[in-house]
Structure 1
Amino acid sequence: MPDTVIDYAAVFRLLPGMVALLTPDLVYADANDEFLYSSGRTRDQLIGRYLFDVFPDNPNDPSATGMRNLAASLRRVVETGERDAMALQRYDVESADRPGEWEERYWSPVNAPVLDSDGRVVLLVHRVEEVTELIRARGRPTSGRGRVLEAELYTRARELQELNERLRTAHAREREVALALQSAMLPVTLPSWDARIAVRYRPAVGSLNVCGDWYDLVDLPGDRIGVAVGDVVGHGLVAAGVMGQLRSALSATSRVAEGPAKALEVLGLYARSVDGAENTTVVETCIDWAAHTITYSSAGHLPPLLVRLDGTVDHLDQATDPPLGARPEHLPRPQATTAFGSGDTLVLYTDGLVERRGEDIDTSLDRLAAALVRHREADPERVADALLVDLLPVGGATDDTALVVVRL
């Protein structure tokens, strides 16, 4: 058996359930035999055609929601890269033999992504179980326990569908509020060296994925600036609120502390009194323009990258400690200093920019470094835009992204 070659195309065609493959643009790429048979369509009527051109809503039913609900589910899969199981749907289908005549049909769909090596959704697996006969059985005489079970199943399915709609509405409202709160707490003005700095913030896709990423930039005495990025564990309003407290505290502390390590020590002590601040990661850097040095300290955060004019890339990873609140005792945090040359570029970021499901973090960082080398001669604004285009998935990332680019 280990030497047996499996013909997966043949297996797909003969799967006992209805399965179709869609592109992220919702065009049919393939469909198995059961899907063709149960939908009453030929391969020529499906492959290469837009899903809702083949299966539109019943124009005779103004209350039809099947197309809208299916489109929303498929968009969620494209945006989040995660499986989505739908509640029972009524989705009428036009008869292939009698155009203009619509058949009342009920379906239980599940949609799942197929990801490439970069975590991008390249195909959608659309699996459907038809339950029309079960629903119609409600109107036929059945005996005893069978009738009760059918009625309960139909009622529960309808209740689940209504609950899903209410939850999605509530989640959308929470996302809107959290985004507004997070936007209000992120700095809107840059330090005096703003011509050399570009900042970006991109929220995660999906209603519940607003997270606690932040960036901060402050003028410091002695021809210096402080640059920091951080990431609070969690999602939604709670994470956004914790983010605001920690960012404000670090912004104030960095102005008076003797270096990034001391600033993170104070922030760590403060985080112990903030619910939800545990395991927050943050990196603080101090750029000294006169001395041409970067002093930094990291609380469990991904390393800033320093790309030099000659194309070499340094990972600033020589002063990394556990995240905030990750250990019970208070210990001094490490600090390191590196020199920079005029024209070098410093980049700080959160994990939404680089991390991809199932990929080693070193591979992710190598991709970021390569992109930085390609764009190192561009101005900071163009570098920031290029990094977002090169590194974020087409449908958006499932985690927030904060990015700071500094031309040194």
Structure 2
Amino acid sequence: MVNGPFIDYQAVFHALPGAVALLTPDLVFADVNEAFLSISGRTREQVVGHYLFDVFPDNPNDPAATGVRNLHASLRRVVTTGERDSMALQRYDVEDSSRPGVWQKRYWSPVNAPVLAADGTLALLLHRVEEVTELIHARDESDRPQVLEAELYARARELQEVNERLRRAHAREREVALHLQRAMLPAPQPLSHHRAAVRYQPAMGALNVCGDWYDIVDLPQTGRTAVAVGDVVGHGLRAAGVMGQLRSALSAASRVAAGPAQALEGLGLYARFVEGAECTTAVSVFIDWSGHTLTYSSAGHPPPALMAPDGSVTFLDQATDPPLGARPEHTSRPQAQAVFTEGSVLVLYTDGLVERRREDIDTGLERLAHSLSRNRDAAPDALADALLSDLVQPAGITDDTALIVLRM
């Protein structure tokens, strides 16, 4: 089994004393170990390749059965959040494989966890289950097994009800946060020069919204346009409030600043007096249409991408400074310039578009550059949609994503 550093993990999986199943994101059994087959009373042919709830449906004789609903909700949470989910004690009856129509009362303690591929996408779901039926039916010194069972079952139902109330409360708060996000991130006004598209895509999950913002400010008196994106640390209503203040402050600063570095300096000073604004990242680009130059400055933010008409991509990474509030003393921020030709595309974005767990940021930037090149001839709206389609993971993003696409 072991030959030098090699470990046969498939053999280890099947030898595990605990019952474990591997499911596809569509909840089809990909594999199960011997312990799982033993406690479920099923053969490998009855399980592998079949939909989970076809193999283990709810007891049709119990109108109050909730096993399918609860397990399905837990597995979907893992798919959408990419995080492990431990379930409360479940009563989930199992049909006797040798006596069709005869259902055995069973109690389980399940844990569901994601199995990620090398690129950070969800590959499989790991479903580990421990049967506790014997503990539920164990007789105490007073010989009251029915009372013990009823108490534990009632406690499990109470926990389920609490979880459901919390889920509804989080859903309501998420709805409020999204409404606030849309109110503070309206569609940009038509630019006097060229076409732009913006996108805001909230993270999957209970309340992972409202950290990111975008802004486009046309400055006709100077013949320039200021474009910016930013990312507040945290999520939820508090982050939404901070985001709104910082977006408004940077928009105002851009209208009076000589350039992006000065605008970010002003924003940094303002952020010192806003609770929750520390470590916010932002990037600002001033576009000089007549001079065909981009002047940019970054406060710890991923670099904007500039695509030439031939599809070649350059990242504007020569003027990067720490995030807002990261330095104890105020200092001037750097800025740099780049030249663009007519027909080029400028893309600003937040880290949710390119960052993945356990993956170097350069890999995400390469993925963005390849997607831009493949879609070089698309209009801004179509290009924005293509970028989200190419770069967002199949299981959904785990961080907010703001995106600006501007064809020049």
1:289: Cα distance to partner?
1.2
1:208 aligns with 2:207: yes
Alpha-carbon shift at residue 229 of structure 1 (Å):
0.4
2:345 match: 345
Residue of structure 2 equivalent to 1:49: 50
- Tell me the residue number matched to 2:370: 370
Task: Give distance in 1, aligned partners of 2:203 and 2:235.
Answer: 10
Q: Structure 1: which 5+ residue stretches go unaligned? A: none
* Deviation per residue, 1:39-78 (Å, 9 max, x gap): 1111111111111111111222222221111111111111
1:156 Cα deviation from its structure 2 partner: 6.3
1:254 equivalent to 2:261? Answer no
Amino acid paired to 1:168: R
| 1:8-407 alignment runs, 5 A limit | 8-137=9-138, 140-142=139-141, 160-193=159-192, 196-220=195-219, 221-407=221-407
Tell me which moved more, 229-238 or 374-383. 374-383
Consecutive unaligned residues of structure 2, counting only runs of 5 or more, are none
Shift of 1:161: 3.9
Give the whole-Å Cα distance in 2 for the aligned partners of 1:53 and 1:41. Answer: 13
8 A contact 1:348–1:403 mirrored in 2: yes
Asked if the contact 1:211–1:399 (Cα under 8 Å) also holds between the matched residues in 2, the reply is: no
The answer to whether the 8 A contact 2:202-2:399 is kept is yes
What is the CA-CA distance between 1:311 and the residue it aligns to? 2.9
- Which amino acid letter does the alignment assign opposite residue 28 of structure 1? F
SS of residue paired to 1:215: strand
Q: By how many angstroms is 1:158 displaced? A: 5.4
- Give the 3-state SS of the residue equivalent to 1:376 in structure 2: coil
Q: Deviations over 1:298-324 (max 9, x none)?
A: 111000011112332211111111111
Percent identity reads: 71
Alpha-carbon distance in 2 for matches of 1:151, 1:69: 19
Query: What TM-score do the two structures reach when normalised by structure 1?
Result: 0.94
Cα deviations across residues 192-239 of structure 1 (Å, max 9, x unaligned)? Answer: 248621111110000032241111111112322111100000011111
Q: Deviations over 1:221-267 (max 9, x none)?
A: 23221111000000111111111111111111111111111111111
**Residues 309, 64 of structure 1: CA spacing in aligned structure 2 closer, same or farther, 3 A cutoff?**
same
Quote the Cα distance in structure 2 between the aligned partners of 1:15 and 1:402. 44
Q: Which amino acid aligns with 1:235?
A: H
The structure-2 alpha-carbon separation of the partners of 1:153 and 1:64, relative to structure 1 and needing over 3 Å to count, comes to closer
Q: Distance in 2 between matches of 1:87 and 1:170?
A: 19
Helix, strand or coil for the counterpart of 2:214? strand
Question: How far 1:188 sits from its partner (Å)?
Answer: 2.1
CA contact (8 A) 1:350 1:403 kept: yes
SS of equivalent residue, structure 2 residue 101: coil
Question: How many angstroms apart in 1 are the aligned matches of 2:161 and 2:287?
Answer: 54
Amino acid at match of 2:401: T
C-alpha change, 1:303 and 1:19, in structure 2 (3 Å) is same
What is the TM-score of this pair, normalised by structure 2?
0.94
CA displacement at 1:159 relative to structure 2: 5.2
Q: Secondary structure at the match of 2:228?
A: strand
Counterpart CA distance in 1 for 2:235 and 2:55 is 38
Once residues 109 and 130 of structure 1 are traced to their aligned partners in structure 2, the CA distance between those partners, rounded to angstroms, is 9
| Cα distance in 1 for residues equivalent to 2:230 and 2:293 | 22
Matched letter for residue 324 of structure 2: L
CA distance in 2, matches of 1:127, 1:217: 49
Moved more, 305-314 or 175-184: 305-314
Secondary structure, counterpart of 1:114 in structure 2 = strand
- Runs in 1 of length 4+ with deviation above 3 angstroms? 146-163
Cα RMSD (Å): 2.2
Which letter maps to 2:289?
W
Separation of aligned partners in 1, 2:30 and 2:388: 29
Would the alpha carbon gap of residues 115 and 19 (structure 1) be closer, same or farther in structure 2, given more than 3 Å must change?
same
Offset at 1:180?
1.1
Provide the aligned length of Structure 1 versus Structure 2.
Answer: 405
The CA deviation at 1:143 is: 5.6
What is the CA–CA distance in structure 1 between the aligned matches of 2:25 and 2:110, rounded to whole Å?
17
Structure 1 residues 310 and 81, CA, compared in 2 at 3 Å: closer, same or farther? same
